[in-house]
Structure 1
């Protein structure tokens, strides 16, 4: 297992442990629209290393541990970090865009970054099957549609917008480096693009 990946998981664990046990630390670095608008842009980054509880932390880090090697193997560890950080920021930027008028909106977690890594892995590994039998592009397509449903329903505490933004980040950053995937993995590229287009059409029509 790559030492950089283990260090990244360790950093998430240490910062989250501090935040879970120190509410003032948690509040200082969480994603909070009002605070970000007042000039605390660091929260756009720092919130990605905080988690609500150990279950939240474990789920994100276990998922990262499983999918990151696909990205590292097909690119480099440096580009993996680029995808991770880029997806984290993309998830929070999309969240800020969707919730910019909700000054009390708060969120934490590495979910956007991890989702970006998953979608990068789906693009880079044509034979990747989720749960052993679901083709990656079908999973990705369904996941993004579910995220759109979650945004519309607003009936849970899951950061669907951050997940979607992270997916866009992983998708876009991977294709920017490997545009040949557009021709070699056309089905996957199109399948993942369709829900992204649908999301912004719905947003334009004020249907979210």
Structure 2
């Protein structure tokens, strides 16, 4: 049975309220968005608050619909508290990776719940690796683990080639956060789904190797 959980509704409501506040109040938006220079100057609250701001209604709806579709899988298996831990750990980890890759760009800014939402998506894939995803432009179901691997590989491509006005590094960091925290919370997956765990680790290893060899930039 699909269990969205009250906590998910609260998180979606918080995203909606803060995002609409940001839409109408530019000062509020600028004060709480992710900005490398401001964070390095001591405004760490932006590491958290930026995850509840969005560029526009389309950006907000995409993230919240994605969260809606995958949150229930995580809440049903791990419960609301662990869901919250994964959500916020993924949000912070995504922003930490962005901060790391853009540490010498004080002007770099970003907003959105994508890192947190991607972490929940990857947690759901780990917990239910045989799930199938339906994309509106692909007429056949896609296995969850195939989507996960493909998405992270695309994120690496986006980071390397600076594709679009998208925080690919935050997406990737959020996915890693969801992946790691879920495995810490449910180590039994190493006995039941080791093959899927190994497959989902491939893009993470590729990112590490590319970074170490200087081929990511």
TM-score surpassing 0.5?
Answer: yes
TM-score by length of 2: 0.94
User: What's the C-alpha RMSD, in Å, of the aligned pairs?
Assistant: 0.9
In 1, distance between residues paired with 2:15 and 2:40? 25
Unmatched segments (≥5 aa) in structure 2: 135-139
**Paired position in structure 2 for 1:96:** 99
In 2, distance between residues paired with 1:154 and 1:183? 38
**What is the CA deviation profile of residues 136-185 of structure 1, one whole-angstrom value per residue up to 9, with x for unaligned ones?**
11110111000000001113101100000000000000000111212211
TM-score by length of 1: 0.98
In 1, distance between residues paired with 2:156 and 2:7? 33
Q: CA deviation at 1:17?
A: 0.2
Which residue, out of 101, 106, 115, partners 1:112? 115
Within a 5 Å distance, the mapping from 1:32-47 to structure 2 comes to 32-47=35-50
In 1, distance between residues paired with 2:194 and 2:6? 33
Unmatched segments (≥5 aa) in structure 1: none
In 1, distance between residues paired with 2:20 and 2:195? 41
**Paired position in structure 1 for 2:32:** 29
Within a 5 Å distance, the mapping from 1:73-152 to structure 2 comes to 73-131=76-134, 133-152=141-160
In 2, distance between residues paired with 1:7 and 1:133? 30
Give yes or no for the alignment of 1:10 onto 2:13: yes
Q: How many positions carry a matched residue from both structures? A: 208
